[in-house]
A = this chain, B = another copy of it.
Amino acid sequence: MDSKNYDVEKLAVATVASHTAIQILRGAKKYGFRTIAVAGSERAASFYRRLWFIDDVWIADFSSFKQVAEKLRRENAILIPHGSYVEYVGWRQALEAPVPTLGCRELIKWEADQHKKMELLKNAGIPTPRHFVSLDQVNGVVIVKLFGAKGGRGYFVARDREELRRKLARIDGDYIIQEYIFGVPAYYHYFASPVYNRVEIFGADIRYESNVDGRNFGLVEPTFVVVGNLPLVLRESLLPTVLEYGENFVKVVREMVRCEMAGPYCLESIIRDDMSIIVFEFSGRIVAGTNIYMGYGSPYSTLYFDKPMDMGERIAHEIREAAVRGRLEALVT
Binding site for B on A (CB under 8 A): 18-22, 26, 43-44, 46-47, 50-52, 84, 141, 151, 157, 159, 182-186, 198, 204, 206, 208-220, 222-223, 225-240, 243, 270-275, 288, 291-304, 306-308
Tell whether, in the assembled complex, residue A272 and residue B236 are in contact, meaning their CB atoms are under 8 Å apart. Answer: no
Q: Which of B231, B275, B306 sits near A225, CB closer than 8 Å?
A: B275
Min Cβ gap A162→B in Å is 15
A292 touches B296 (CB 8 A): no
Choose one: B151, B218, B233, B237; the contact of A294 (CB below 8 Å): B233
Cα separation A307 to B53 with both chains bound (whole Å): 12
Interface pair A225/B273, CB less than 8 Å apart: yes
- Which of A21, A273, A300 gathers the greatest number of chain B CB atoms within 10 Å? A273
Q: Which listed residue (B44, B84, B182, B288) contacts A211, Cβ 8 A?
A: B182
SS of A interface (majority):
mixed
Please, how many angstroms separate the alpha-carbon atoms of A56 and B218 in the complex?
Answer: 50
Query: Is B43's CB under 8 angstroms from A219's CB?
Result: no
- In the complex, the answer to whether B233 meets A227 with C-beta atoms within 8 Å is no
A227 contact from B21, B229, B234, Cβ within 8 A = B234
Q: A225-B273, A236-B22, A294-B299 are in contact. Are A184 and B157 (CB under 8 A)?
A: no
* CB closest residue in chain B, given A294: B299
Question: When the two chains form their complex, are residues A236 and B20 in contact, meaning their CB atoms are under 8 A apart?
Answer: yes
Query: Which among A215, A300, A306 has the greatest number of chain B C-beta atoms within 10 A?
Result: A215
**B residues less than 8 Å from A232 (CB atoms):** 208, 228-230
Evaluate contact between B296 and A296: CB separation under 8 angstroms.
Answer: yes
Residue ID in chain B nearest A227 by CB atoms = B271
Name the one of B183, B222, B240 contacting A210, with C-beta atoms under 8 angstroms: B183
Q: Which of B47, B223, B229, B307 meets A243, CB within 8 Å?
A: B47
